[in-house]
Structure 1
Amino acid sequence: MRTKHVLLIEDEPHIAEAIRFLLGRDGWGVRHLTEGADLVARLAEQPVDVVVLDLMLPGRSGLEILAELRADPATAALPVLMLTARGQARDREAAERAGATGFLAKPFANADLVATLNALLPPEALDAAQSGATG
């Protein structure tokens, strides 16, 4: 079976480890970064199906990183799930304006994270994961 691949950009180690464990149980291959420097170049080297991006990161915000992803033709259509401890409507609206594909406020239910990521999978990735193709 082809593994679904996600890049998690989360600076909080306990949250990152919990997400990695949860997604690994659901068949996802998880790469983790604590910040988004050189993200577009890293994605060119190792593409993923979905990015999970924390809104509040040291150095550069998730919104700045998302803007960089959307500005590059190679990553402009890549699904991005924005996570934030700040779940106010204005945060959701800012993420949507920046091009986030999905949004979850922390704390979130484990099932919600898995369901949201599976829903964000591009059809070709979902088809390959379900058909047992290798990858």
Structure 2
Amino acid sequence: MNIAIKPRVLVIEDEAALLALLRYNLEKENYTVDEAMDGEQALLKVAEHMPDLILLDWMLPRLSGLEVCRQLRRDPNARNVPIIMLTARGEEADRVRGLDAGADDYIAKPFSPSELLARIRAVLRRIRPALAEEVLTYGGLVMDVATHKVTRNSRDIHLGPTEFRLLRYFLEHPGRVLSRDQLLDAVWGRDIYVEQRTVDVHIRRLRKALNGNGETDVIRTVRSAGYALELTATPAMSA
């Protein structure tokens, strides 16, 4: 089974028609889409499943987009997630307020879907280059996505399809603690039932492949939380 890892976009918009249009265009471009229709729901969605990028409407019920942006930038787990603000406010002063609150880009309504998709690609290239690159690197690890070739310190690493997808997701989120549920959704797919302990089995296989020749373990186990790809000098361990 070959499941590609798609960048996850959280769309925070209270206008149902626009929300549906955004979902349609994003999914057509191979993004995974989550939705929220008010500011409080948006913060809950981020806490449940960290997105790779957020499209954030300025005018929202319960909590404004500006306040959502400020709170996310104060959250250690979400502060680096790129945010593009969507708003009918086109004045320069409003753009400055949005950017000062922590937005990475700003697009005024009405906008064309093609312009928005171009902005998303540009932000991901600038802020999360791993999601736009064919070669992912972290320390001595190198993954060529196109050829499915992986090396560590110039040593060839032979991985099965699932371990390859796991490592790719880790390389796209270096240093971030990823829960078993996040890994299941990203690697196996949200609509496929797989037990959480299956993740542990494949993590053990991935570790065995990566940690050869006395090399340190680059996958850190975070008790009760999940796993993280980190360049820390720890002895090899089981999942």
TM-score by length of 2: 0.53
Structure 1 residue 93, shift from structure 2 partner = 0.6
- How has the CA–CA distance of structure 1 residues 99 and 43 changed in structure 2, closer, same or farther, with 3 Å as cutoff? same
The 3-state SS of whatever aligns with 1:47 is coil
Structure 1 residue 46, shift from structure 2 partner = 1.0
**2-side partners of 1:39 and 1:85: how far apart?**
19
Which residue of the partner structure matches residue 98 of structure 2?
95
Verify the 8 A CA contact 2:10 2:54 in the aligned structure 1: yes
Which residue of the partner structure matches residue 132 of structure 2?
126
Verify the 8 A CA contact 2:39 2:61 in the aligned structure 1: no
Match of 1:46 among 49, 69, 92: 49
Structure 1 residue 22, shift from structure 2 partner = 0.6
State the one-letter code of the partner of 2:93.
R
The 3-state SS of whatever aligns with 1:104 is strand
Q: Which has the larger radius of gyration?
A: 2
Structure 1 residue 36, shift from structure 2 partner = 2.2
**2-side partners of 1:50 and 1:7: how far apart?**
6
Which residue of the partner structure matches residue 176 of structure 2?
none
**1-side partners of 2:59 and 2:82: how far apart?**
19
The answer as to 2:36 corresponding to 1:33 is yes
Cα RMSD between the aligned structures? 1.9
Structure 1 residue 117, shift from structure 2 partner = 0.8
The 3-state SS of whatever aligns with 1:127 is coil
- With 36-45 and 82-91 compared, the bigger mean Cα shift is at 36-45
- With 116-125 and 100-109 compared, the bigger mean Cα shift is at 116-125
State the one-letter code of the partner of 2:133.
D
For residues 7-64 of structure 1, give each alpha carbon's deviation from its aligned partner in whole angstroms, at most 9, with x where no partner exists.
0000000000000001111111110100121644532331210000000111211000
Q: Which runs of 5+ in 2 are unaligned?
A: 135-143, 147-163, 166-185, 187-239
Q: Which runs of 5+ in 1 are unaligned?
A: none
Which residue of the partner structure matches residue 140 of structure 2?
none
Verify the 8 A CA contact 1:40 1:75 in the aligned structure 2: no
Structure with higher RCO (Cα < 8 A, 6+ apart): 1
**1-side partners of 2:131 and 2:90: how far apart?**
29
The 3-state SS of whatever aligns with 1:107 is coil
- How many residues align? The count is 134
Structure with a larger share of its residues in helix: 1
- How has the CA–CA distance of structure 1 residues 38 and 9 changed in structure 2, closer, same or farther, with 3 Å as cutoff? closer
